[in-house]
Amino acid sequence: MQKAIRAIAVLLVVGFLFALIIYNVTNPPKPDVSVWNKAMTLGDAQTADHFFYDYTDIMCPYCDKFALAMDKHLDDFRKEYVEDQKVFYELRLTALLASFHPDEVAIVENSTNSASAGYCAAEQDKFWEWYGWILTKLNNDYFSKGIGASAAATQHIPQLDVKYFTEVGDTIDGLDSNRLYECVGSDNTRTTVKNNTSKAARIVKGGLPYYVFNTYVSPGFDGNWEPDHDWENAKLMFDAGIASKK
Amino acid sequence: MVLRKIAKRISFILTTALDRTKFALVSIGYLLKQPKYLASFLVSLFVFLYILSFFKDGNGNWLLLCSGLPFGTKMEVLGKVCIKILENFTSLYGVLIIFMSILQALTIMLLIFTWRNREKDHAIDGASTGGIGAIFGFVALGCPTCGISLLAPILTAVAGTGAIAAAEGISHILIVLAFILLIYTVIKLGYVSFITISAKKYKEKKTCKRQLEQSQFC
């Protein structure tokens, strides 16, 4: 009798967990179709057939795996998806890691400052150039050395100075480092980051990165830090997004 | 006086646990030498490695399989999981997955043996504990920094968006719990198997002796 009750209890727990997973997979949240920041988009929203939204945090290693592959194949993406498939792509930059780990000062500061710097680069209309630059820098300094690259990483990225995200030097034509630095500390930028992070928190379920490609919704990115391999995985997700509308 | 009693009790429990572990290891070694049990171990190992690797980085692969991608592409997604199994050997996280799969495969192998040779339903207790351990492990593995895990969607569905932050901490607890339960199950089932094997050997010896007495050959 006791064994039967135990077996029923185990079955109930398994059934409950399975039902929750199915519910979560089959009930994705509705996407927010308004453009957050035009400088962080690719393609034309007016003529697009497909709408891809990518919720990210620059300090999130899994987001950066995807973003680095995307940065390396940006021309391919523009040609194959933006032009040929009429995709409208929007990167929705957040400081969600700061809200996931509110007690960890380094994560909060790095996440907030990097997102702020992104919005400030967008203000100077140099977002994509800056984004490629910071992704490469973070990868060279930390992720490629295994620092902060995964949950199993023994070393975490330390608290970085604001200048880490703003000292572009002469690497990006037309991007003023001083203006970028001043902008990061402004109340206006902080409010933008805070508001967009709150908006994202209502949509993002299951962690970062979070992709809403048409009706195909997927949290996480399954890459291994090899840009070509990562690009193959990213393309699978783009194709799944396009297929979801057909 | 009380302290001495407690110390005595602890030392007794430890000695018993060590003895049982030793017997369990002997029975595991004995069973792995038999082709049919080795086969069941290897098949279970592959199945668990495949499932855990499939869900290693969250439910991305599952979502791709549920998407509108062509059938051939979905088969490619399934095939790529085999490469991920090999990739497990290159990271600490992957090694955890391999270790958990080995424990689970041993549980299945021991369970098959005890089931086939059972006289009393001793193994069922161990099996249900192992089952719970497997569920915990399955849910907890798949927990990168950003909160991607099977646990996050489950918790999210239960408690809303705030659950994401909790997922990482809880999943570490679940991993530890899963390993404790699985190791406990393997030792328990291994010990039961050892008794069964010893009884079987004794029985065979006895029968052999009788046959020898009667017909001069065995």
pLDDT of residue A181: 95
CA angle A177, A181, A185 (to 5 degrees): 165
Q: What percent of chain A has pLDDT over 90?
A: 67
Interface probe with A: pick from B148, B154, B158, B177, most Cβ of A within 10 Å: B148
Assign B149 a pLDDT band (cuts: 50, 70, 90). Answer: very low
Q: How many domains does chain A have?
A: 2
Q: Does the pLDDT value for residue A167 go beyond 90?
A: yes
Based on the domain organization, do A19 and A61 belong to the same domain? no
Contact B147 A208 (CB under 8 A): yes
Residue B134 lies in a domain: yes
In this structure, what CATH number is given to the domain that contains residue A112? 3.40.30.10
Based on the domain organization, do A160 and A192 belong to the same domain? yes
Q: Does the pLDDT value for residue B52 go beyond 90?
A: no
Which of A7, A216, A217 minimises the CB distance to B128? A7
Q: What is the mean pLDDT of residues A39-51?
A: 94
Higher local confidence (pLDDT), A87 or A154 = A87
Q: What percent of chain A has pLDDT over 70?
A: 94
**Chain A touched by B204 (CB under 8 Å):** no
Interface probe with A: pick from B84, B86, B146, most Cβ of A within 10 Å: B146
Residue B214 lies in a domain: no
Residue B1 lies in a domain: no
pLDDT of residue B186: 86
Residue B90 lies in a domain: yes
CA nearest to A245 within chain B = B68
pLDDT of residue A31: 56
Q: Does the pLDDT value for residue A100 go beyond 80?
A: yes
Q: How many domains does chain B have?
A: 1
Q: Does the pLDDT value for residue B92 go beyond 60?
A: yes
Q: What is the mean pLDDT of residues A23-49?
A: 81
pLDDT of residue B13: 86
Domain containing residue B75 = 28-208
Q: Which residues in B lie closer than 8 A to residue A246 (C-beta atoms)?
A: 68
Distance CA B52, CA B97 (A): 7
Residue A176 backbone phi and psi in degrees, to 5 = -90, 115
Domain containing residue A11 = 1-30
Q: What is the mean pLDDT of residues A126-147?
A: 94
Burial bucket for residue B203 (CB in 10 Å: 0-12, 13-18, 19+) = exposed
Residue-wise burial string across B70-93, b where 16 or more C-beta atoms lie within 10 A, e elsewhere: eeeebeebeebbeebbeebeebeb
Q: Which residues in A lie closer than 8 A to residue B148 (C-beta atoms)?
A: 62, 206-208, 219-220
Assign B131 a pLDDT band (cuts: 50, 70, 90). Answer: low
The CA distance from B47 to the nearest CA of chain A, in Å, is 19
Contact A236 B91 (CB under 8 A): no
CA nearest to B54 within chain A = A222
* ipTM of the complex, rounded to two decimals: 0.74
